[in-house]
Structure 1
Amino acid sequence: MPPAYVKPYVKRQKNDATDAEAICEAVTRANMRFVPTKTPEQQSGLVLHRTRHLFIRQQTSVINAIRAHLAEFGIVAPVGRHGVEELLAVVADPNDKRVPEIACACLSALGAQLRRIKEQILEFDRLIRAWHLSNEMSKRLEEVPGVGPVLATALVAAVADPKSFRSGRNFAAWIGMVPKQHSSGGKNRLGNISKQGDRYLRGLFVAGALSVIRYAKIHGTKHRPWLTALLARRPTKVAAIALANKIARMVWAMMARGERYKEPVALAR
């Protein structure tokens, strides 16, 4: 059971006895939700994704450190990976005397660390791609626009039993892509998206939705009337959240029913 669902049954102080009592009380509830057990393969996939995500955060941290240290000496570069390469070229140039020797030694170490992290991330990408090609469900999920090997394998690893969700909306709520509710007295009050679910999956879904929107803006949105109407009345990022919610529901239907992706009628023409 999720610990958050057991917490309301804890009486006053927290200790092993009250925790055990709360668990015994929660497990008897008819509407209690239970966490399905993952297979060793799924758990290994989660380890792979979490390790890759950790290395990506470390890469960002190292890049920010290089930029910040060189900015102290008045050396800045454009945003993006090419800008970082320009900064490292300045550090590696023996004829450039703008950076003191001690600072150059430290920045060279950071540059070497950055290269090692990038090589490891590429190795993780290779492992994810290999696992994706060996998993039938992951290959079926990739057929959905906005879903690539990274998101497909993350879904296969994270969702132990798709049928444990009653609907696509419940699945989207588990990820954290439905509005927060503060309803009372028969009045429905909906706020921003809850962000209470899986942060990693939510980020991948939103990135996939943004890629679909970017492709549609370049090649035209006439074949996607729903997305066209949405972009006409909402900002791009708001539309991306709505599209990510839609993609999540389609993915759940495919996983729960064992179906393949079917193009909408407007796209099939």
Structure 2
Amino acid sequence: MKHYAGLDVSVKETTVCIVDEGGRICREMKVASHPDDLVEALKNPAWNLARIGLEAGPLSQWLFSGLAGAGLPAICIETRHAKAFLKAQVNKTDRNDARGIAQMMRVNLFRPVHVKTLMSQKRRALLIARKLLQEKAIAIENDIRGLLRNFGLKVGIVGAAKFADRIQDLSGDIPELRDIMEVLLAARQKLREQFTVLHERLLSIVKGDTVCRRLMTVPGVGPVVALAFNATVDIPARFKNSKDVGPALGLTPRLHQSGEDNRVGRVSLCGDAMMRTLLYEAAQVLLTVMKKWSWLKAWAMNVAKRRGRQRATVALARRLAVIMHRIWSDGSEFRWAREEATAVI
């Protein structure tokens, strides 16, 4: 007889529920949220486990890798589907959630989530850390501007390189304010220095990666976008068609059909928000900054004439994702002229 297990993961403990083919609960227990403890509990010869489900979350990649490495049939399930299934329960408890996930495994009512490779996880950690330092430095600069504005001191438009000199000049006549600004500027400087360290590490990775260098042949795509796309897609073969990348990143519109009602809404915004933002920024660069003309920019400008700049930017972001996946899959580079392209995207 086959058995199915559901894991409701929390930081300290994981609630485990094991059911048989008929849905009868065979065992319930709490196990420390560590791969070794879960493997020890689930590798009991009494259970012929066909599927082990755990919801995608902060610990899911670590636990999934440990379970899969031990030869257990672990499956990471999509959070929205799990939430919709478990929502039918009157009382939300860890035990009920584990029971619900176990039943999802039994009836095969779930959508699996791709668990990224270790290399992609490391690259994503680098991108997130780099972005965090950048955002904190910008936040300090904005707070400095706000503090000085209370004293009638306006910073105005100034670049990052001359920002500290401008602040020191403005606050020089007020000793107390000058001392406060020196502390904030020192913190900003440290953040900028560490941001530069991570950015140089990112550039070094991209320089040694042939896939990223080919992705950068696409106009508007720089090292950050290329590495982020590499880390997000992880394995290009998991998308059978390049056009499937757009919906996975939330760059296609929602569709609601019911009887004669057929409404097309905004983009779904599903998937990786960081990658979606970077693609949107790359599309803006291609439309507004890039001077060199290409068939892709001509296509986007035509869309902008018909549907407006905002929709054209979103459409271009989606098409950039499709083109980058195609380039990654077939080992080619971006073709600037339409007649040079051998594949219609």
Q: TM-score range by the shorter chain?
A: 0.7 to 0.9
Q: 1:144 aligns with which of 218, 233, 248?
A: 218
Structure 1 pair 156–57 and aligned structure 2 pair: CA distance change class (3 A)? same
Matches within 5 A, 1:193-232: 193-216=267-290, 218-219=291-292, 224-232=297-305
The aligned counterpart of 1:9 is 85
Kindly state the Cα deviation for residue 111 of structure 1 after the two structures are TM-superposed.
0.9
Deviates more, 1:120-129 or 1:66-75: 120-129
Counterpart-to-counterpart distance in 2, 1:31 and 1:151 = 35
Q: 2:150 aligns with which of 62, 69, 72?
A: 72
8 Å Cα contact 1:138-1:152 kept in structure 2? yes
8 Å Cα contact 2:287-2:301 kept in structure 1? no
After superposition, what is the alpha-carbon deviation per residue over 1:65-118, rounded to whole angstroms, capped at 9, x for unaligned? Answer: 10000000111122352673454232564xxx2x3x222211111111111111
The percent of aligned pairs where both chains have the same amino acid is 23
Kindly state the Cα deviation for residue 120 of structure 1 after the two structures are TM-superposed.
1.2
* SS of match in other structure, 1:34: coil
Matches within 5 A, 1:48-59: 48-59=126-137
Counterpart-to-counterpart distance in 2, 1:208 and 1:154 = 12
8 Å Cα contact 1:205-1:247 kept in structure 2? yes
After superposition, what is the alpha-carbon deviation per residue over 1:18-38, rounded to whole angstroms, capped at 9, x for unaligned? Answer: 222222233356573322232
Counterpart-to-counterpart distance in 2, 1:175 and 1:29 = 28
What's the TM-score, normalizing by structure 1?
A: 0.86
Which ranges of structure 1 fall in alignment gaps of 5 or more residues? none
Kindly state the Cα deviation for residue 268 of structure 1 after the two structures are TM-superposed.
4.1
The aligned counterpart of 1:44 is 122
Structure 1 pair 70–152 and aligned structure 2 pair: CA distance change class (3 A)? same
Kindly state the Cα deviation for residue 246 of structure 1 after the two structures are TM-superposed.
0.5
Counterpart-to-counterpart distance in 1, 2:165 and 2:304 = 37
After superposition, what is the alpha-carbon deviation per residue over 1:140-171, rounded to whole angstroms, capped at 9, x for unaligned? Answer: 22222222111111122222333333433432
Higher share in helix: 1
Larger relative contact order (CA 8 Å, sep ≥ 6): 1
After superposition, what is the alpha-carbon deviation per residue over 1:215-238, rounded to whole angstroms, capped at 9, x for unaligned? Answer: 45x455788431231232343333
What's the TM-score, normalizing by structure 2?
A: 0.68
Structure 1 pair 160–220 and aligned structure 2 pair: CA distance change class (3 A)? closer
Counterpart-to-counterpart distance in 2, 1:111 and 1:5 = 47
Deviates more, 1:60-69 or 1:228-237: 228-237
The aligned counterpart of 2:163 is 84
Counterpart-to-counterpart distance in 2, 1:190 and 1:211 = 27
Q: Is 1:241 paired with 2:314?
A: yes
Q: Which amino acid aligns with 2:168?
A: A
8 Å Cα contact 2:253-2:267 kept in structure 1? yes
Larger radius of gyration between Structure 1 and Structure 2 = 2
Counterpart-to-counterpart distance in 2, 1:221 and 1:211 = 13
The aligned counterpart of 2:38 is none
Structure 1 pair 37–193 and aligned structure 2 pair: CA distance change class (3 A)? closer
Q: Is 1:113 paired with 2:187?
A: yes
8 Å Cα contact 2:126-2:198 kept in structure 1? yes
| Number of residue equivalences | 262
Deviates more, 1:228-237 or 1:241-250: 228-237
Higher share in strand: 2
